Structure 1
Amino acid sequence: MNLEQLNRLSVEEATHTFMQCCTASSWVEAMVLARPFIDEQALAYQADLAWAGSIEADYIEAFEGHPQIGNVDTLRKKYANTKELASGEQSSVNHASEQVLLDLAQGNSDYLDKFGFIFIVCATGKSAEQMLALLLARLPNNKITELANAAQEQRKIFHLRLNKLI
């Protein structure tokens, strides 16, 4: 899809398309209404502007659009082979050890219990070990700090997805 095609989508089609980038309904609505975009910079600017107006409920809604990495079987599949990773987004991942997978599953569970939302990180180019280190580094944070961290990671994610879209 190119920018011209995005601008010409029906409201329903545009809503579906932007939901693939971020599931916060207020963000999606703002993006749909902001069309037409004159260029990719305008698209990126509007994405940031819409996100800047978000509140905690919007962040949580966006986070809920991500799958939770919570069980070891899912993690084994995710980190089994770098060539099998979704869209090459984690191209630097090496085979993860069983201990790292167990620690990631436990850390994700601890994070959810503490903050009430799943661990959000822009995973592009990060190994399982790096993901674990980031999770463990953020786990001691308070909820306000962590909500801001997760919101910033979500912002990185929707920018990557918008770039893939166009």
Structure 2
Amino acid sequence: MPDDARREAVAALNGWSEDQARQELTACCASGRWVAAMAGGRPYGGWSELAAASAAAIKALRWSDVLEALDAHPRIGDRAAGESREAKWSRAEQSAAASADAAVLGALARANGEYERRFGHVFLICASGRPAEQILAEARRRLDNEAVAEQQEVRTELAGIALLRLERLERLGQVGVGA
């Protein structure tokens, strides 16, 4: 992302009221603890500071906070319902995977189900720009993880998604709803 857009994202976040900042941040990561940490950390001096704060906030989450964030994410391959910002972003992030053929999408659905039975939560991956075949390979690989290792991978993916969405904040400030 261009530096100008990142500067605009930081400026937008710093300029919003507490309520608006919390609303916009919830679209980036639905963990209430993460949202509180990020809103409370304002003002940010720049993109690097904002990105570091996000990473630290995700690292500090309890597992129950991570699960809260996961509840806002649809299964990979499923079309997020509704017109909320999170649903629109999810559809855009998964657009490369959504165009896969039926056999790959079916295999991905089966891998999602197996993953959820094994780990008890949705399979999370930063899908932006990744084809379904690559996502499927990652799902299958991660099924072999031990629970603790998988929890770390989930945190890493959640951090990536939050950062990707934080970069979009500059597009929201003018109207407060964004796409």
Q: Structure 1-normalised TM-score?
A: 0.83
Partner of 1:61: 68
CA drift of 1:95 comes to 4.2
Instruction: Give the unaligned 5+ runs of structure 2.
Output: 1-7, 81-89, 171-179
1:1-166 equivalences under 5 Å are 2-69=9-76, 74=79, 86-87=91-92, 89=93, 95-166=99-170
Instruction: Count residues with an aligned counterpart.
Output: 154
Q: CA RMSD in A?
A: 2.2
Q: Structure 2-normalised TM-score?
A: 0.78
CA drift of 1:12 comes to 1.1
Cα distance in 2 for partners of 1:110, 1:93 equals 19
Cα distance in 1 for partners of 2:33, 2:98 equals 37
Q: With a CA cutoff of 8 Å and minimum separation of 6, indicate the structure with the bigger relative contact order.
A: 2
CA drift of 1:68 comes to 2.2
Q: Deviation digits for residues 26-51 of structure 1, max 9, x if unmatched?
A: 01000010001111111111111211
Q: Percent identity?
A: 34
SS at match of 2:168: helix
